Homo-oligomer: A and B are copies of this chain.
Amino acid sequence: MSDQDPARAQLADATTPLIRNAWYVVARADEITRAPLGRDVMETSLVLYRGEDGAPVALQNRCCHRSFPLAHGSLEGDGIRCGYHGLLYARDGRCIEIPMQDKIPPHLCLRAYPLVERGPFVWAWFGAADAADEDLLPHPAWLGAPDWDIYIGYLLINASYVHMHENLLDLSHLSFLHPKTFGTPEYARAPVELAIKGTDIQVWRRVECQLPDIYAVPLQWQGCRAERSSGSQFVAPGLHVNTGILRNLERAATADEALPTIRVAQLITPIDRTHLHYWFAGCRNFARGRPDIDDFMRSAQIKAFTEDQFAMEEIARMQRVDGHTPHTEMHIPTDAAGLAMRRHLRALAAREAL
């Protein structure tokens, strides 16, 4: 398959325009307070704060007068005053006061971004505000639900969000990139089950193995044979979900006992085409009420995700260093889910370009 191949042209990569008609996490809910917070996302800069009613607000960070970041300004009631010339903006972005001026030019307003706060995260919509449909929010019900214990982590990754999604959709790399964290040798030999229905793109693998410590320690299953079913699902440009369902093969579960399950929401927010915010929230139905287990699993996951970060950033470096050499990306059968996802993102981008 060559660069000239029409099929390849249909795959999103690090040069594809970002998808704006989508919801993306812009902050953990507890990061947004009554002190303005600047955050760069989706090739734009936002200022985030809470109004007097506690609801989060996202405005364009760049003052429309002289481009000073509003994040350095101060809140006044529901509004925010620029720290350079004192322009005061309402929470809907309209300028409502200019010091010493009677009249305010009618176009003097900041873009406001629709937000939804749901569980531990706040999501923003980057397309046209009137197209922001809360029903499209990919927040899964279990994320932040009381019957799941949760830990949250974060990494800043200098790579394309397309490559990150592809990496997460691909369970075949676990034995090679993550042999000491997530992967066990059995993974490389386990058959993969693709489930691609339109834009619902999932991959599943089932192995019998000794679980890696990240699961074995919280379950106290070290040394036991277990069945591990792992699923990866591309949900939306801003969300990926990994699921692990575990069964101890040396102990019978009681009839009413739910299988130990971990779901990891991977909140992927492009900063631009080659940098991304990566929040992850691990939710489990076992070893509950144990902050020490939260810490243990978060540490183990950060260690494993740092391996992904290393791979993503090294790939970006190869693309730069080797940029003069003609290169054709080759595919293998286990890439099918990733390719479906990249075709989907490419189609979304093409639609937005119309």
Contacts and interface: CB of A to CB of B under 8 A. Distances in A.
A72 interface: yes
A292 to B, nearest CB: 32
Contacts of A258: none
Interface string A30-45: 0000000000100111
Given A45-B322, A172-B99, A176-B85, A329 B67 contact: yes
Contacts of A327: 62, 64, 67
Nearest to A192: B100
Interface stretch (A141-149, A230-238, A249-257, A311-319): A311-319
A88 to B, nearest CB: 11
B67 A99 contact: no
Given A100-B334, A188-B99, A69 B318 contact: yes
Interface stretch (A101-109, A150-158, A279-287, A298-306): A101-109
A140 to B, nearest CB: 28
Contacts of A294: none
26 contacts: A43-B325, A64-B327, A64-B329, A64-B330, A65-B331, A65-B332, A66-B163, A66-B166, A67-B327, A67-B329, A69-B318, A84-B311, A85-B172, A86-B172, A99-B176, A99-B188, A99-B189, A100-B188, A100-B190, A100-B192, A101-B332, A105-B330, A105-B331, A107-B328, A108-B332, A272-B324
